[in-house]
């Protein structure tokens, strides 16, 4: 699905003039590409993903979600063709692994046997075979990520929104999860918006990196990542990776400093 965002503005009500989180975002997220939204904390990158996912409603601007294969079809509502994987995962603690994964199918009224079959297949494909009946609290951080990923993938939506899903993981687990996501993406070719504040993660995963400014969030620059797929962690050691890293670091350093200044002012 193509996601065409135009003049998107988001103002949060703060009882006064309002906080401008997004200030005129224009971007065309192309079908089947993985776009990383990169920016300092508070730049509105998560907000952008949530608006695309229909979880928040923008103050103004338009989002058109269209199928490039059938451009004559009416555009989809935000949220209708997408599913979110959350930073805090938001697994339901009172449900075991399989009932978390099957949640969306259960809500849609899919019969028990069918939804369990599909959930089992997905649980196996993310490497959690035999953990179906476990409580989520018994799982490690990386395993919970897998449950959350399976819970999103089972919806079989063409758009996958990921809001810093790996931010809380330890470095080694993060590498494994990044490689796993890369494999899944290269197999399924969904349209993915991946929110992150890690430059290396953005280059490793993304087909393009949208660098955002500090608040109010605008698009500072869009960088194409033409590194070959399939990608693995070894890419990090290549010359091309290093060049991209330096270029993005240069762009983002300014914005991080701006964001820190804003925070200092807010505290003072």
Integer Cα distance of 99 and 92 in angstroms: 9
**If we measure between CA atoms, which residue out of 119, 178, 114, 179 comes closest to residue 153?**
119
Selected binder of other proteins within 108, 171, 267, 268 (CB under 8 A): 108
Q: At its nearest, how many Å lie between other proteins and the CB of residue 1?
A: 16
Residue written as tokens 């430059």? 199
Quick check: 183 and 146 in contact, CB under 8 A?
no
Give 29 or 103: the residue with its C-beta nearer to other proteins.
103
Closest distance between other proteins and the C-beta of residue 94, in Å?
4
**Is position 184 an interface residue for other proteins (rule: CB under 8 A)?**
no
Nearer to other proteins, 68 or 93 (CB): 93
Residue 166's φ and ψ, nearest 5 degrees, are -100, 5
> Would you give the binding string for other proteins spanning residues 144-183, x where CB under 8 A is met?
-------x---x--------------------x-------
The answer to whether 128 contacts other proteins (rule: CB under 8 A) is yes
For residues 167 and 50, what is the distance between their CA atoms, to the nearest angstrom?
A: 17
CA angle, 230 then 234 then 239, to 5°: 100
Alpha carbon 166 to its chain centroid, in Å, reads 10
Interface with other proteins (CB under 8 A): 53-55, 79, 83-84, 86, 88, 90, 92-94, 103-104, 107-108, 127-128, 130-131, 134-135, 137-140, 142-143, 151, 155, 176
């Amino acid at each position: 699905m193509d996601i065409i965002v135009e003049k998107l503005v988001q103002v949060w009500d703060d009882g006064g003039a309002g906080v401008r989180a997004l200030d005129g975002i224009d971007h065309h997220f192309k079908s089947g590409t993985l776009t990383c939204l990169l920016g300092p904390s508070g730049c509105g990158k998560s907000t952008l993903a949530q608006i695309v996912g229909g979880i928040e409603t923008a103050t103004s601007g338009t989002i058109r979600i269209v199928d490039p294969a059938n451009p004559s079809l009416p555009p989809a509502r935000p949220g209708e063709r997408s599913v979110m994987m959350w930073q805090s995962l938001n697994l339901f603690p009172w449900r075991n692994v399989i009932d978390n994964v099957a949640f969306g199918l259960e809500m849609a009224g899919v019969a028990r046997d069918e939804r369990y079959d599909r959930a089992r297949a997905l649980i196996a494909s993310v490497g959690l075979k035999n953990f179906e009946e476990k409580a989520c609290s018994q799982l490690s951080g990386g395993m919970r990520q897998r449950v959350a990923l399976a819970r999103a993938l089972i919806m079989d939506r063409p758009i996958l929104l990921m809001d810093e899903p790996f931010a809380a993981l330890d470095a080694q687990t993060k590498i494994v999860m990044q490689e796993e996501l890369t494999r899944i993406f290269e197999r399924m070719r969904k349209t993915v918006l991946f929110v992150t504040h890690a430059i290396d993660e953005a280059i490793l995963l993304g087909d393009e990196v949208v660098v955002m400014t500090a608040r109010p969030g605008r698009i500072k620059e869009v960088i194409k990542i033409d590194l070959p797929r399939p990608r693995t962690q070894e890419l990090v050691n290549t010359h091309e990776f290093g060049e991209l890293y330096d270029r993005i670091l240069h762009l983002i350093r300014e914005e991080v400093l701006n964001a820190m200044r804003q925070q200092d002012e807010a505290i003072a």
